Amino acid sequence: MPTIGILGGGQLARMLALAGAPLGLRFLVVDSAADACAGQVAPLVQADWCDFDALAGFAQRIDVATFDFENVPADTARWLSERTRVFPNPRALATSQDRLAEKTLFQRIGLATPPFAVVDSRDDLQRAVAQVGLPAILKTRRLGYDGKGQYRLRLPGDVDAAWQALGGAPAILEAFVPFERELSVVAVRGRDGELRAYPLTRNWHTDGILSASLAPAPGSQALLPVALAHARRLAEELDYVGTFALELFVRDGQLLGNEMAPRVHNSGHWTIEGAAASQFENHVRAVCGLPLGDTAALGLSVMLNWIGELPPAQAVLAEPRAHWHDYGKSPRAGRKVGHATLRADSAPEMIERLTRVGRALGREAQVAPVIEALQADASA
């Protein structure tokens, strides 16, 4: 019975362990926090990423290692790869940790990106503004996710505030894209190079954090072959093994690369109940060298993210084919504490369910854009 080691003990590690248990897989999680929520469902080793004595013991107890999030130091991943199998590989992890390396890779594989410029100094930022134009977004090259490490510049007078807000960290200035919609393609690649992808997912964000996802994305599936081709080239370039997500903007019917996540992804949570095999199951299949599972969607799915605190579960669970996920975390502003997934066979059915849930929870604003997208597709 193989044991998978997971670096990082958040909700993604928790869901990986829950998905792998029916396959007979065992898990060992390492995290610096003693109360990491994955420790509620799998054994947990509390250790810092640079505690190599603890990590050596961790490596001896597992058959393969993977990641819960992409900010595990790449040097730690490289050190671990000398002692056990590590998927995805350290190069893929390192590339995703640096927005400049990531954007450069996108361009190399033929995936267009918004215009951007490198910013290593205050003078660089001034030159980048002249080159890229405004509005634009200053993003740290490293350690930014869920809207962190970003500052939007609207006017030339915002330059000093932006530079100070990011503390002078190495960054890129990226042109603001007036995109029509935001999509993601969640794909999985096996050790043998086989690649499978889920239907395109449409996503909505609030304050830089995913609020809702709809899959299959209405009116967007014609873009799936193009998105899948980019995902395939990306995975082959990195010799990637496991599940990953490619976040995309749609502008004038064309795809622009936003970010890559070298792990299971928030926009793929709907696959737990909404696909034949979830992104979590397929990730553990891939890293263990097992055949990949079917990525077909089972009707329509909407995932609603719960940020800060959980709303009452009753209104959601009263709906047919509704599913509730409590991550076992204490409430905190900006923290992902759970999600719910609603399933339906048709857009009208989904609209009715979302309308009831939104009203019952007082979250009409969260479900409104999803309802609008479903209505627009029905009238097209």
pLDDT in tens, 61-80: 999 999 998 888 889 999 99
pLDDT in tens, 217-245: 999 988 999 999 999 999 999 999 999 99
Stated as kind and residue range, the H or E segment containing 138 is strand 136-140
Domain 115-175 classified CATH 3.30.1490.20?
yes
Checking if the pLDDT of 147 tops 60, the result is no
Checking if the pLDDT of 288 tops 60, the result is yes
Mean pLDDT of the region 162-190? 92
Q: Facing residues of 214 across strands?
A: 202, 302
pLDDT band at 145 (very low <50, low <70, confident <90, very high): low
Give the per-residue pLDDT at 166: 85
Q: pTM for this structure?
A: 0.95
Taking residue 114's Cβ as centre, other Cβ atoms within 10 Å add up to 18
Stated as kind and residue range, the H or E segment containing 226 is helix 224-238
DSSP-derived letter for residue 2 is: -
**338 backbone dihedrals φ, ψ, rounded to 5°:** 170, 180
Pair type for strands 201-206 and 150-153? unpaired
Mean pLDDT of the region 262-278? 98
Architecture of domain 3-86: 3-Layer(aba) Sandwich (3.40)
Give the per-residue pLDDT at 2: 93
Task: Give CATH for domain 181-379.
Answer: 3.30.470.20
DSSP-derived letter for residue 270 is: T
Q: Taking the domains of the chain in order of start, what are their residue ranges? A: 3-86, 115-175, 181-379
Listing DSSP states for 346-375 in one string gives SHHHHHHHHHHHHHHHT-HHHHHHHHHHHH
